[in-house]
Amino acid sequence: MSFPVLSTILFAPIAGAAAITFLPTTAGSTIKKVSAASMGISFLLSLMVFFGYNWQTGGMQFVETLTWLPEMGASYSLGVDGLSAPMILLTALIGFAGVFASWRVDERPKEFFILFLLLVAGVAGTFVARDLFLFLLCYEVVVIPIYIMIILWGSSKRVTKEYAAMKLTIYLLLGSAFLLAGILMLYLNAYPAGARTFSMEALAKAASSGALSPEFQKFAFFFVMLGFGSLLSMWPFHSWSPDGYAGAPTAVSMVHAGVLKKIGGYGLIRIGLLMLPLGFKFWAPLIAAFGVANVAYAAFIALVQKDMKYVVGYSSVSHMGYVLIGIAAADVIGINGAVANMFAHGVMSALFFAMIGHIYHATHTRHIPDLGGLAHQMPRATVGFFLAGMASLGLPGLISFVPEFTIFVGSFKAFPLFAVLAIAGIILTALYVLRVLADVLFGPRRSEWDGVHDLHGADWVPLVVLGAFLIGFGFFPSLLMDVVNSGIEPLTPLLVKIKTAATLWGGL
């Protein structure tokens, strides 16, 4: 067996966390260096995975398999395909940037970085798992560290951080309760007792071989949809998200908005579409409708927010709407766009939160009316903020233009009305993004911010690495799209097969 790249990506943060437990509480800078080193290893290896992934051959690569729980049919098996390669890169990228965005955490740094590294490892695990049991294990690992991080290092604004943390935790866990039930049903029904397996490939095969009746698929998919929908902040299960992000410390907001939510979209495709295709098709119109609700509703709310983090929080809810519409289109182009958009949104929201975190650290406020003219005092942060904002409204040449465009192309055939409504949502996005940029960065110089620090030292890292991807993938979209496409293209036969399957409302 060759060098276990994926396992190293997964276990480097865990090893880092284990090393930190033996460091004294006072060794703040050593703790940060250990975290940076372990995340650095993960990041470099994930770059290697992403760029080393042979998208012309496609399929699962970097495969690792170990027997784990044979009597349950679960194995420790990892691998990446075109769908998960971007996601694992995104995870490591944001995890790496997150460590540097937390460089100024001086209160109980030991606990902070242990929890952060565990969180990143958990997220990474969900994306490289080829086994549903391993996926579940990693899926729920992430919630508890987030809870503790929010209550300890978060901030109370509109709602207290305890409330925000509890709300987020309970929403996600309740969602996961339904997800677990759905997955268990799938596991138990796909194969008879004795031959049961958690292997994702085998389960996908069960669906295509007709072992799962359409009624069962509809039923089970509903549970899966509730689970992943609440994780993806699908309307009406979204309300934990803005509160949670506003309460969370910067790095947690980055990871959560950047990658954790994406598990929802990833799961809808990997588990919902592949393992329960008929159920997926049946509920797709509802998902698309919820997606439109996400786009429009969250954008409207974002317009009137006064706290920067709430603006970005609602903006992330709104962007997830596009992802939902793209996935629901059940069409290669739409899903391509959705996956690419998840990556794009991950990078830009992480950058957004990193910059907000920095501005908040410098000015001690996130209240938009209190801020203004920061471009004078903080030109570097302004660049980052501006980049993220422009990407958010889909400026050509930045990362999210191509994915969003692809979603519209893909979804227009399936849901013309919804696609048009969603395009209209872009106008709202432009409005709230520009409003924040104008109110916070531009305008007359304000003397009270004269003494604040701009980005310096470790603060540069998030801006540089995230910005590089924002621009790089913007100018060379094929770097991203080719890989994604290699994962989605093979779904064509499946998508064609379910083209005529029953749906909730017929064609819309």
Partner 1 sequence: MNFDALMLEMAVALLALLILVADLLMEPGQSRRKLGYLAIAGLTGLLLVSLGRYGMQGAFFNGLFLQDDYALFFKQTFLIGAILVCLFSLDTVDNLPHSRAEFYVLLLFAVVGMMILASANDLITLYVGIELMTFSFFILVGYVLCETKSTEAAIKYLVLASAASAVMLYGMSLLFGIAGQLSYNALAKGLTASPALIVGGVMVLSGFAFKIAAPPFHMWAPDVYEGAPIPVTALLAMGSKAAGFAAMVRIFAEVFPGTGYPWPLLLLLLSGAAMLVGNLAAIPQTNLKRMLAYSSVAQAGYLLTGMLSGGFAGVKGVLFYLMIYVFANVGAFAVLTAVSRHRNGETIGDIAGLSRKAPVLAVVMTVSLLSMAGIPPLAGFVGKFFLFSSAIDAGYLWIAVLGFVLSMVSVYYYLNVVKSMYLGAPADDRPFEIAMPVRVTAVFAMAATLAMGVYPGPLSQLAETAAKTVFK
Binding site for partner 1 (CB under 8 A): 68-72, 111, 136-141, 143-144, 147-148, 151-152, 162, 166, 169-170, 173-174, 176-178, 180-181, 184-185, 187-188, 193, 223
Query: Hey, is 104 helix, strand or coil?
Result: coil
> d(Cα 364, Cα 345) in Å, to the nearest integer?
26
Q: At what angle do helices 214-231 and 277-303 cross, to 10 degrees?
A: 30
Q: Please, what is the minimum distance in Å from the beta carbon of residue 474 to partner 1?
A: 38
Q: Measured from the CB of residue 133, what is the shortest distance to partner 1 in angstroms? A: 8
Compare residues 65 and 365 and give the one whose CB is closer to partner 1.
65
Cβ distance to partner 1 smaller for residue 222 or 460? 222
Q: Which H/E stretch holds residue 127?
A: helix 109-128
Closer Cβ to partner 1, 136 or 269, answer by number: 136
Q: Of 501, 376, 381, which Cα lies nearest the Cα of 451?
A: 376
Contacts of residue 24, Cβ cutoff 8 Å, sequence gap at least 6: none
Nearest to partner 1 of 116, 473 (CB atom): 116
User: How many degrees, rounded to 5, is the angle at CA 48 between CA 45 and CA 50?
Assistant: 110
Give the nearest distance from C-beta 237 to partner 1 in angstroms.
14
Q: How far is the CB of 159 from partner 1 (least distance, A)?
A: 15
Closest by Cα among 340, 360, 180, 109 to 253? 360
Q: What is the nearest approach in angstroms of partner 1 to the Cβ of residue 274?
A: 21
**Cβ distance to partner 1 smaller for residue 49 or 136:** 136
What single DSSP character describes residue 272?
Answer: I
Q: Give the residue with the Cβ less far from partner 1, 137 or 409.
A: 137
| Collapsed DSSP state (helix, strand, coil) of residue 61 | strand
Task: State how far the Cα of 131 lies from the Cα of 419, in Å rounded to an integer.
Answer: 34
**Amino acid code (one letter) for 248:** A
CB of 37 to partner 1, least distance (A): 23
Which residue's CB is nearer to partner 1, number 177 or number 286?
Answer: 177
| Cβ(410)–Cβ(326) below 8 Å | yes
> Measured from the CB of residue 123, what is the shortest distance to partner 1 in angstroms?
14
Structure-block tokens of residue 422: 């969603």
What's the closest the beta carbon of residue 14 comes to partner 1, in angstroms? 11
Comparison of 72 and 438: residue with beta carbon closer to partner 1: 72
- The answer to whether the CB of 504 falls within 8 A of the CB of 413 is no
Tokens of 478: 């094929």
69/324 Cα distance (integer angstroms): 34
Q: Please state the closest distance from residue 177 (CB atom) to partner 1, in A.
A: 4
Question: 152 or 383: whose CB is closer to partner 1?
Answer: 152
Residue 154 or 326 with smaller CB distance to partner 1: 154
Residue 360's SS3 state is: helix
Taking the least distance from each CB to partner 1, the nearer of 66 and 502 is 66
Q: Is 429 exposed, middle or buried (0-12, 13-18, 19+ CB in 10 A)?
A: buried
Reported residue count of the chain is 508
Q: How far is the CB of 69 from partner 1 (least distance, A)?
A: 5
Instruction: Give the residue carrying structure tokens 């797709």.
Output: 284
Concatenate the DSSP letters of all residues of 163-176 into one string. Answer: HHHHHHHHHHHHHH
Q: Cβ neighbours of residue 386 under 8 Å, at least 6 residues apart?
A: 437, 441
The least CB distance from residue 243 to partner 1, in Å, is: 16
The single-letter DSSP state of residue 291 is H
Contact in structure between 307 and 368 (CB atoms under 8 Å): yes
